[in-house]
Amino acid sequence: WKEGNEKVKIERKAPIWCMAWNPSRDEPVEILAVGDWDRKLSFYQLSGRQVSKDRDLDFDPCSIGYFSNGEYLCIGGSDKKVSLWTKEGVRLTTIGEREDWVWACKVRPRQNFVAV
């Protein structure tokens, strides 16, 4: 058994509220998508190095989930919507809308279903 020592620290200006690892085995490096309450979406390598510039959001993200192939993300938050995004952080469309903030959205593995 090994101690849970900190290996890499990712710091943001606002609280990090959600994150998800890209499940694709086809990517050359492992990528972590991070959503913070500065209304930003960012991507990091396992080393802690940021992959691309921050993506500005017009809402506070509360939940992030990758589809099984790692090509797409679903993001829910304070805009009361669940939206479909590319793995690079480009918004494509709205999947669903609720009457309140979307605190959790989960993609069903190996399927195109999203639970909200």
Question: What pLDDT digit, counting tens, does each position of 6-29 carry?
Answer: 778 888 889 999 999 999 888 888
What the block records as the tokens of 82 is 């669940």
Question: What pLDDT digit, counting tens, does each position of 24-77 carry?
Answer: 888 888 999 999 999 999 999 988 999 999 999 999 999 999 998 899 999 999
Task: Assess whether pLDDT exceeds 60 at residue 1.
Answer: no
List Cα–Cα distances, 61 to 20, 36, 85, in angstroms: 12, 7, 13
